[in-house]
Structure formats: C-alpha cells, structure tokens
Structure 1
Amino acid sequence: MPLIRSTLFAIVLVFITPVFALVGMLSTPLPPQLRYRLIGGWTTIAMWFIRYLLGIRHRVIGAENIPESPCVVLCKHQSAWETIALQRILPPICFVLKRELLRLPFFGWGLGKMPNIAIDRAAGKDALTQVTEQGKARLSEGFYVVVFPEGTRVAPGTTRRYKPGGAWLSIKAGVPVLPIAHNAGDCWRRNAFVKQPGEIVVSIGPAIDPTGLAPDEVNRRAEAWIEGEMRRLFPSHYPDEAVQGTA
C-alpha cells in the first residue's frame, strides 16, 4: 500500500508542479510576500495529499515560542517533508539553499521565484557573505530565514557538524535564533521513493537571543537544544547512547 500511495503522490506532483512553476514566472513583477502566497498554493495542495494520501500526519509542540517578528530558524534536516511543512507551520519563510536546485526543470524554476537565499556552496567564505547579505534583505521583507545547519539531510539518529551560517546571520541582523527538532525521517527517508504513514512530531524550542554572544556560542546553544530534544522525544533513534547511560 505505501508503494501505491507514494506512486500516486508522485503523479500528483508531476501534474501540479508545472502549473505553479508557470504561476511563479508570471508573478515575477509582484511583491515578494504576494509571490510567496501565490506560489505557496503548491504547498497547500502537497500537504493535503501528504496527510490524506500518504497518511503522514504531524503534531507541533512549542508553537508559542515562535517570535512575532522575523528571526533565523535552525532546523534539523532529515527529509524533503520539512521543506514543505515548515511553510505551513511558520509565518512566511525563506530557505538558504544551494543554487544548483534552481536549475531543476519546473520545480527549480518555481523555486527561483520564491524569496529564497540561493548560495554557491563552493564559494567558501563568500557563501557566508551571501547568506548574511541576502538574509538581512529577506528578514527586512518580513520573512523568517530557515537554515539547515547540518548542510544536508541526515538519517534519524545521526548528527553532522553544525555550520555557523545561521548563527552568524542572527548576530549580524540582530534577530533571535529559533531551534526546531523533528522526526520526519521516520516517515520520509532521504531519497526514498516510498513514504511510510505515521505521525511526525515537530518541536519548536525557546528563541535564543544572540545579544553579546559569539556565533560559535549561538550555534552551540542551538545544537545543544536540538540534539537534546531529539534524544528526549525519540530515544529509540539513539539506542547506543541509552545502553551507555545505563552502564
């Protein structure tokens, strides 16, 4: 059954993505917030099919922690699910993403019309400058900037080094960092065609005020909360640590 549902979901995306890519291209002259709402219709449709066709539900903890004004969001990255769902969980957002995604037919073309921050990952330190300059512009336009600090999708129970770009932007822009943990990888594995039904828990932590802190310290506090929350909510992902804790 998951294979059939996943196949039908893929067919849905094949049909709706070119339509919204066209919407994106036609909306180019419009203000960023209006473009976001128009192109975001793709997300609304996708989330409906994710819930009622794939059987993937989600529950949010800590929504009261979301600041009323734009901030930098540091989020665990396990699948494509959170790139879709965060657009409905949070106020208007933009993502820091690799520029090559914009070259994908239809999907990338529509993505390029959204107010995202496309960076050249091979640019080294210049990529940090791109995040800072474009990020401050997006924040001033009213968008919350979502950064996946591990840089790529990671499997449940694993962790990669947290990169400092998001923390650096929060300090330069003078806005808080909002940490988010979740278990999307349980239902939607990286590069997996077949999605599994179930419930995804999204936990939003207290905002971190960067005032007087160095980027490394902001990053450390965000990582400590996210990884601690992952272990609190999903201990089965870390069986080796549980064994060590009882030894």
Structure 2
Amino acid sequence: MILPVGPFLDSAGTRAYARGWERGILFLLRWVVGIRHEIRGRHHLPAEPVIIAAKHQSAWETLTFHTFVHDLSVGLKYELTRIPIFGRYLMKSGCIRIDRGAAARALKSLVEGAERAMADGLHVMIFPEGTRRSPGAPPDYKPGVAALYRKLNRPCVPVALNSGVFWGRRSFAKHSGTIVLEFLEPIPTGLPRAEFMRVLEERIEAATARLVTEAQGESVADAALKKDLARP
C-alpha cells in the first residue's frame, strides 16, 4: 500500500505510515484475538532524546512501539534490512542496522547509528538482551546498551512488559488478556559501566516479574470465568 507514495516520504512520513499500520495490528489483536494493552509510566519518558532499553518477550513490542513513542529509532539486526522493499523502508524510517558478524563491528554500527538518530532528535530503543526471552527465563543482558549509555551520555529509560504471557516466543498461538508495558524511572548519566548494568537489569527484571505475575493471575481468572459461563 505504501509503494505509490513511499518514494516521496521522508523519515518522519515513513514512521507516520508505520504507526497507522501498527494501529491496525492493535485493532485486530483486540477485536479478533482479545489482546488489549495498557501503557504505564509515560511520565518517565522525557521529551528530549534518551535511550530506551526494553524487555523483549514477543513479536508484540516490535510491531507496536511506534504507536506510543513517535520519534523513535530502533536497533535491529542487519538481516531484516535485506528483505526486499520492507528492508528499504525500515532504513528509511530511521532504524539502526546492527551488523552482528563480529562483536566489535556490531558495537560500532550500533553506536554510530544511535549517534545519527540522536542528532535527528529521535529516541533510541534497544532490546538489551538482543533477542526474545520467555517469561521466567534467566536474563542475558549484552554489552551493547552499556556502550550506548557511555557514548551517547544520555539517560536510559528501562521498560518492563509481560507480552510473552499472551504471545509466546516463536509461537503462532496468541491468548486473550491485557499486555502491560511500563516505562520505569530513568537511569541518570554518569554511572560506571558495571553499576549501570546492575541497576538496569534489576529494575527491568523486578518490574517484569511483577507484571508477569499480574498477567498470569488475570489469565487464571479469565479461565475460571469461562469455565463458569460454560456450565449449564
């Protein structure tokens, strides 16, 4: 649908189109699948560009983040940008292409892309574990987020969520319920690397565990209600 006008859109226009597409996905998830969502802690996200470090449990957050953070650049793996047409518009929207071939090269491409995005007034979002992790899986935070924190000298806003309870990792199956995404208190600049990584992991994991427990309780309550309704 974007092909006729795509060549004439700038980065902001491409992101605006993506928001419309993502809102369509959220509409279908709500009315076809029964997946709703709630965003908490918006006041923790400042107007000036910051680093957003988000927990990653499912495809949901990759498909919807632009709807509530408009000026956003996302770090993504190089392979996605090689998809015909789609990859071109990923790059045109201001995404950061990460070459994951070697650790040094990956960090260099991430930092350089983030610096360009910040210069354009965009928040930079990264999944600090690098890939999706199932609810309850041991955390595995990578050094890329620490490199951004040191090089960009910007606050980091941690993000917790519970999407994996309703849309599993590498799973087509989806379950009704309310996905909660929560922006947490920003981590100020200037912390030593080890201290920053410790604070980041502690905040995200503690809040994520709380949200997952909340979601699992909702799922149990929904199942009980459906069972009661099914009784003659």
1:34 is displaced (CA, Å) by 2.6
Q: In structure 2, which of residues 78, 81, 85 is the aligned counterpart of residue 102 of structure 1?
A: 81
For residue 131 of structure 1, report the CA deviation from its aligned partner.
1.0
Matches within 5 A, 1:74-85: 74-85=53-64
Q: Equivalent residue of 1:53, what SS?
A: helix
**Matched-pair contact (CA < 8 Å) for 1:231–1:237:** no
**Which residue of structure 1 aligns with residue 225 of structure 2?**
none
CA shift in 2, pair 1:230/1:168, >3 Å? same
Number of the residue aligned with 2:221:
none
Residue 184 of structure 2 corresponds to 205
Paired position in structure 2 for 1:5: none
SS in 1 for 2:66: helix
**Match of residue 222 from structure 1:** 200
Deviation at 1:161, TM superposition (A): 1.6
Contact 1:94-1:115 within 8 A present in 2 as well: yes
Between the aligned partners of 1:236 and 1:67, the Cα distance in structure 2 is 27
Distance in 2, Cα, partners of 1:143 & 1:74: 14
Q: TM-score, normalised by structure 2?
A: 0.85
Could you say if the C-alpha distance between residues 50 and 110 of structure 1 is closer, same or farther in structure 2, counting changes exceeding 3 Å? farther
Aligned residues: 216
Give the secondary structure class of the aligned counterpart of 2:33.
Answer: coil
CA positional deviation for 1:41:
2.3
The share of aligned pairs that are identical, in percent, is 35
Task: Say if 2:44 and 2:186, in contact at 8 Å, map to a contact too.
Answer: yes
Question: Per-residue deviation at 1:121?
Answer: 0.7
Gaps of 5+ in 2: 217-232
CA contact (8 A) 1:75 1:147 kept: yes
Equivalent residue, structure 1, for 2:29: 50
- The structural deviation recorded for 1:62 is 1.1
Unaligned 5+ segments in structure 1 are 1-18, 239-247
Q: Is the 8 A contact 1:97 1:119 kept in 2?
A: yes
CA distance 1:53–1:188, change in 2 (3 Å) = same
Q: TM-score, normalised by structure 1?
A: 0.80
Q: Name the SS for the 1:154 alignment partner.
A: coil
What code does the residue aligned with 2:206 have?
A: G
| Matching of residue 26 in structure 1 with residue 41 in structure 2 | no
In structure 1, distance between residues paired with 2:126 and 2:33: 26
Is 1:69–2:48 an aligned residue pair? yes
